[in-house]
């Protein structure tokens, strides 16, 4: 850090020298032109660096999320292909338990899994996580009884716990505050695409009769599990580790990558080691608990759609094969809507109002499902709204939490807490769509509507609180500064002078 600070101070001094305007009339226009050219050159160089990072970081992480969502959500498709009858005796309760086991281990290992990314290099932690859940997901194809399936689901959850919150943290060590949401959207967008691809894959696999492997759900687990193992190897070999040490960048690019974050509040303060002061600040930060409750409502809908969307569509009067196919369009639209929402959130520097808007879209969908009982076309349209709203809110909330953590240790803990607490309602989702409630599903639809509305309300309240707090700090400190080159990295957090929240 000392070398980086020296470079930044030199850079700052150079900037001051460049901005100095002498008393000689003949030379006064030159510095202004030089400053303009220098700014343009710096911006172009920074854009080139971001393109180079995006070229490798985004494809690898988004593909891995695509794989993770396929492995997490394939139970809903496998159910319609005979998994429930073969291993569970057509028991709704056993199917719900199988869904729940994933979330139990996922919740329990969220914070430890995210801390692992801070202790190890992030690519190493991500590769280990992907190898664990990819292997477990593939082995589901070899299960012949209910307990074997449960063990596999537990290990899928353990692996994905070290992945889900780690990628948003990983983005934060490479990108600025205003650059994160759109990238989180591409990342989470692959979850929506996974729902689309999952439906297409399941639809195709449903016609694979008479193979030596046996039931079509076994083929489904193999097709969706094996690519994750390949991706784990690619992540370990190709994903850049940190800006200051990455061999993917040249020396000049490493310097630019470090300095552009260090001269803003984007990267925050960081050290190589995990700092327990960041842990203490995280568990005492009221904002993470508010965001976690917001995330409860989001994940209730996400888990409901992941586990039951094909079943819900089937209950509208479509065959099982048609239900697999008709689950594709809502996910595809959700991916586009999510990217648009995150793009405008980054451009405006606002998170809370966009989270609230997304949840209101989802609420509208649940209202239609509850109140319109005879028009199946309208009910199918409402699945678009619920899917679009709940998916769009995920990258926005992840970015919101990440943006408002002032150091890496606090950030890894809060992102882990967000996922750990927020995913508890995913367990609830496994039990609110019993087949006896079809086709109206009043309990499932009603609970989703209630908690989506609560999420929207809390997002607006937190937005107003953070706006008020930023204004209070501006008045107290006489303005704001984004330069973090002289902060004490061992004590700096979001309560320190100079820090401002993203509302």
Mean pLDDT of the chain: 83
* Residue 329 to residue 147: CA distance in whole angstroms: 34
Vertex 463 angle, CA 392 and 173, to 5°: 65
> What pLDDT is attached to residue 316?
78
- What are the sequence ranges of the domains in the chain? 52-261, 274-502
Higher pLDDT, 364 or 12: 364
Structure tokens at 458: 């809390």
- Residue 58's pLDDT is what? 92
What proportion of the chain, given as a percentage, has pLDDT over 90? Answer: 39
Tens digits of residue pLDDT in 60-86: 998 998 888 888 778 877 888 888 888
Domain covering 274-502 in this structure, CATH number? 1.20.1250.20
Taking the C-alpha atoms of residue 51 and residue 53, their distance in angstroms, rounded to an integer, is 5
Q: List the structure tokens of 256.
A: 């630019």
For residues 419-439, average pLDDT: 85
Total-model pTM = 0.76
Do 52-261 and 274-502 share a fold?
Answer: yes
36: helix, strand or coil: helix
Q: Which CATH number fits domain 52-261: 3.30.420.80, 3.20.20.70, 1.10.10.10, 1.20.1250.20?
A: 1.20.1250.20
**Burial class (CB within 10 angstroms; exposed 0-12, middle 13-18, buried 19+) of 144:** exposed
What is the spatial distance between Cα 421 and Cα 294, in angstroms, rounded to a whole number? 10
Question: 486: which 2 tokens?
Answer: 């002289």
151 or 271, which is more confident: 151
CA–CA gap between residue 414 and residue 118 (Å, rounded): 13
Per-residue burial over 300-323, b if 16 or more Cβ lie within 10 Å, else e, is bbbbbbbbbbbbbbbbbebebeeb
The pLDDT value recorded for residue 354 is: 97
Alpha helices in 263-375 (DSSP H): 276-283, 286-314, 320-326, 328-348, 352-371
Least confident of 294-298, 317-321, 427-431, 439-443: 317-321
pLDDT band at 129 (very low <50, low <70, confident <90, very high): very high
């Amino acid at each position: 850090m000392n070398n980086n600070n020296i470079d930044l101070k030199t850079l700052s001094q150079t900037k001051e020298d460049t901005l100095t305007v002498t008393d000689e009339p003949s030379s006064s226009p030159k510095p202004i032109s030089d400053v303009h050219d220098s700014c343009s050159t710096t911006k172009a160089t920074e854009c080139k660096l971001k393109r180079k990072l995006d070229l490798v970081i985004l494809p690898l992480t988004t593909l891995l999320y695509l794989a993770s969502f396929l492995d997490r959500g394939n139970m809903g498709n496998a159910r319609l292909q005979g998994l429930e009858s073969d291993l569970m005796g057509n028991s709704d309760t056993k199917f719900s338990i199988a869904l729940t086991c994933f979330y139990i281990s996922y919740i329990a290992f969220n914070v430890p899994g995210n801390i692992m990314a801070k202790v190890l290099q992030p690519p190493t932690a991500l590769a280990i996580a992907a190898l664990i859940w990819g292997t477990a997901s593939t082995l589901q194809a070899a299960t012949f009884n209910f307990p074997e399936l449960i063990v596999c689901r537990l290990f899928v959850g353990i692996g994905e716990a070290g992945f889900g919150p780690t990628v948003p943290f990983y983005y934060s060590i490479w990108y600025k505050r205003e650059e994160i949401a759109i990238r989180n959207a591409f990342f989470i967008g692959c979850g929506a695409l996974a729902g689309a691809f999952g439906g297409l894959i399941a639809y195709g696999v449903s016609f694979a009769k008479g193979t030596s492997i046996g039931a079509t759900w076994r083929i489904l687990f193999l097709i969706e599990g094996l690519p994750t193992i390949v991706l784990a190897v690619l992540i370990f070999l190709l994903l850049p580790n940190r800006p200051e040490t990455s061999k993917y960048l040249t020396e000049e690019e490493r310097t630019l990558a470090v300095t552009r974050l260090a001269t803003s509040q984007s990267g925050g303060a960081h050290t190589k080691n995990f700092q327990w002061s960041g842990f203490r600040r995280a568990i005492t930060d009221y904002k993470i608990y508010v965001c976690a409750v917001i995330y409860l409502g989001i994940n209730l809908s996400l888990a409901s759609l992941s586990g039951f969307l094909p079943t819900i569509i089937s209950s509208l009067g479509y065959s099982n094969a048609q239900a697999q196919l008709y689950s594709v369009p809502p996910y595809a639209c959700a991916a586009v809507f999510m990217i648009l929402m995150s793009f405008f959130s980054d451009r405006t520097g606002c998170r809370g109002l966009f989270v609230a808007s997304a949840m209101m879209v989802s609420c509208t969908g649940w209202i239609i499902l509850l109140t319109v009982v005879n028009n199946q076309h309208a009910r199918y349209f409402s699945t678009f709204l619920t899917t679009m709203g709940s998916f769009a809110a995920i990258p926005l909330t992840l970015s919101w939490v990440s943006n408002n953590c002032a150091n890496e240790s606090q950030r890894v803990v809060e992102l882990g807490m967000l996922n750990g607490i927020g995913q508890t309602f995913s367990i609830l989702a496994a039990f609110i769509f019993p087949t006896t409630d079809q086709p109206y599903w009043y309990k499932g639809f009603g609970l989703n509507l209630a908690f989506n509305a609560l999420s929207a309300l809390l997002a607006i309240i937190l937005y107003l609180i953070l706006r008020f707090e930023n204004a209070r700090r501006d008045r107290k400190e006489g303005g704001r500064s984004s330069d973090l080159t002289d902060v004490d990295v061992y004590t700096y957090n979001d309560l320190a002078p100079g820090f401002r929240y993203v509302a």
